[in-house]
Chains A and B, each alone.
Chain A
Amino acid sequence: MDLFFEFLTTLKNTVVDVLPILSIILGFQLLVIRKPIPHLKQVGFGFVYVLIGLALFLLGLEKALFPLGKMMAEQLTAPEFIHAGEQVLTSIHWLDYKWVYVFAAAIGFSTTIAEPSLIAVAIKAEEVSGGAINANSLRIAVAIGVAVGIALGSYRIVVGHPMHYYIIGGYVIVVIQTFYCPKLIVPLAYDSGGVTTSTVTVPLVAALGLGLASTIPGRSPLIDGFGLIAFASLFPIIAVMAYAQITKAKARKVEEKVEEKAKEKVEK
């Protein structure tokens, strides 16, 4: 019964969050477009499903994943775990934090796979590309990007390098890739940077970043605690373009083989 009331509270909060969007849509539909919404009943039910779905999703995350994930981030970054037995901390070595990097990558990958907004964009991309872009492959490519990004971002917090070197370095890679990868993928790749970090990923990643920055001597949460999300939005762009480049290279190889065989046939 408690659970049901918690659900109602979450549902109410979700509805409140959605109200601005809903009023903008309705306002423009009624006052500017001045036409009834096509398939009104279906769209209305769709909205209700989205609201119920989001409320259930958030409640479940709060109940199961966030407490556990945040606790893990704290435990893995805690000095007792990293420097078990050592009483006096003379210096920190980046390898002491190896489990943090593994956790960062694993949690980045797995939360991205479950990210609803990425699912939405992937479905749309598969539909628009007529199946040339596979929704699941796209999601895996993005998830790999997030995994690499968050692991690298954690490493940066541990060693204390300035963040903008990494971000600017990442931009340089994006610029180079943009000129070499298939043109069709470029906008989608840029988009995938923004969609990765929402409901599931942000709270866990923020906990990891703040945990690291507040336990490592010499790091300030103000300067070092933020920034992990930026890594998580940059590296998926690189990963998606790389995915397109690899697919293209593979397709070319298959084409070459087919051509070779055709030539052989002609020669015979």
Chain B
Amino acid sequence: MLFSMPHQLILFLKALLGSCKDLLPIILVIAFFQFAVLQQPMPNVGDILVGLSLVVLGLTFFIYGLEMGLFPIGESMAQAFAKKGSISWLLTFAFCLGFGTTVAEPSLIAVAKEAAIVAASGGIITDTLESQLSYANGLRFTVAFAVGFAIVMGVLRILRGWPIQYLILGGYVVVVLMTMLAPSWIIGIAYDSGGVTTSTITVPLVTALGVGLASAIKGRNPMIDGFGLIAFASLTPMIFVMIYGMVIS
């Protein structure tokens, strides 16, 4: 007990230093472009310094909490499901996790809104608030459903031990085929929607779930079978959003 406080403090300071290092590249890039390329003074230096220290603190807390909370809960749930042996409950959980975390994802909501505005100005949908809202919501639910489906597929793959490359590469073939069939205005949004779905809290949880499942099931290698869930979650939205575009037009 006597040593625990300074020891904790040293650990915390070390973590803070690590976060500073993670942030250093951004600071250098911004400073270089501001001074050397755009040749302008730095605006609101005080605000920026405060903001940067918040980012460093936030990153440190996040990583602390990650290893204390998110990783353990993901792994313990994976093990509990593996012990319980009920595949249907596991798949239901997988779908809920994918759908539930995506449908409320702020960056997806932002992108869907943006896409609706652009689509309305491009004459794809009628330029009323109502049709924009229904288009944006349609996009959101399509992507969320796609991610739910993806986690289900990914968990099934871990259970069965299917090699990932055939599934993902097969998915690519579908994406390419769909690209030829889908209307051109949806393609950019569809391709992007794969990237925006995976949020900062979902990724550690889903990764821990995959690794936990692969370690709990006999004959699965956590490295080969545990990773890959996120890959599915960034592939299926592309396909589903292109289908959505085809249905709408």
Q: Shortest Cβ distance from A204 into chain B, in angstroms? A: 9
Q: Are B188 and A163 in contact (CB under 8 A)?
A: yes
Q: Is A266 located at the chain interface by the 8 A CB criterion?
A: no
- Interface stretch, picked from B1-9, B93-101, B131-139, is B93-101
Residue tally, chain A, CB below 8 Å to B: 106
Q: Are B65 and A50 in contact (CB under 8 A)?
A: yes
| 8 Å CB contact of A188 from B60, B104, B223 | B223
Chain A interface helix/strand/loop/mixed: helix
Chain B residues lying within 8 Å of A123, measured Cβ to Cβ, are 63, 66-67
Q: Are A68 and B30 in contact (CB under 8 A)?
A: yes
Q: Are B33 and A194 in contact (CB under 8 A)?
A: no
Q: Is A154 located at the chain interface by the 8 A CB criterion?
A: no
Chain A residues lying within 8 Å of B247, measured Cβ to Cβ, are none
Q: Are A129 and B223 in contact (CB under 8 A)?
A: yes
- The size class of the interface chain B forms with chain A is 35 or more
Chain B interface helix/strand/loop/mixed: helix
Bound-complex Cα distance A180 to B58 (A): 40
Q: Are A75 and B69 in contact (CB under 8 A)?
A: no
Bound-complex Cα distance A167 to B61 (A): 37
Q: Is A232 located at the chain interface by the 8 A CB criterion?
A: yes
Q: Residues of B with Cβ closer than 8 Å to A?
A: 22-23, 25-26, 28-30, 32-34, 37-38, 43, 47-73, 76-77, 80-81, 84, 89, 93, 96-97, 100-101, 103-107, 111, 114-115, 118-119, 121-122, 124, 164-165, 168-169, 172, 175-176, 179, 184-185, 187-189, 191-192, 194-205, 207-208, 211, 222-231, 233-234
Identify the 7 closest CB pairs spanning chains A and B, nearest first.
A46-B69, A64-B51, A49-B65, A57-B58, A53-B61, A56-B58, A46-B68
Q: Residues of A with Cβ closer than 8 Å to B?
A: 3, 13, 17-21, 23-25, 28-29, 32-33, 35, 37-39, 42-65, 68-69, 72, 75-76, 81, 99, 103, 106-107, 109-111, 113-114, 116-117, 119-121, 123-125, 128-129, 163-164, 167-168, 171, 174-175, 178, 183-184, 186-188, 190-191, 193-200, 202-203, 206, 220-230, 232-233
Q: Return 26 A-B CB contacts under 8 Å, by A number.
A: A17-B106, A20-B101, A33-B80, A45-B65, A46-B64, A50-B70, A56-B61, A72-B38, A103-B29, A109-B25, A111-B26, A116-B66, A117-B199, A117-B202, A120-B70, A121-B230, A124-B211, A168-B176, A174-B172, A186-B165, A187-B223, A187-B231, A190-B231, A194-B203, A222-B118, A226-B115
